[in-house]
Amino acid sequence: MNARMAALGPPSVGAPADGIELDPRLAAILADGFLDLGGCVVLAYDADSLVAAPIESYPDATGFEAFINHVHLDDELGLPAADPMVVKQAGRYATELADRLERAYPGEVFVLIIGLGDSCTVRFHKLRPGESWIADDLEGYENEAMMVVHVPE
Residue 142: CB atoms within 10 Å: 8
Q: What's the domain range around 25?
A: 3-11+20-151
Angle of CA points 7, 9, 10, to nearest 5°? 110
Cis ω for the linkage preceding 129 (within 30 of 0): no
Q: What is the largest CA-CA distance in the chain?
A: 43
* Count: domains in the chain: 1
pLDDT tens for each residue of 49-106: 776 677 888 889 999 999 999 999 999 999 999 899 999 999 999 999 999 999 999 9
First to last CA, the chain: 14
* pLDDT above 80 (res 16): no
Q: Which residues contact 148 (CB under 8 A, 6 or more apart)?
A: 1, 111, 112, 113, 114, 134, 138
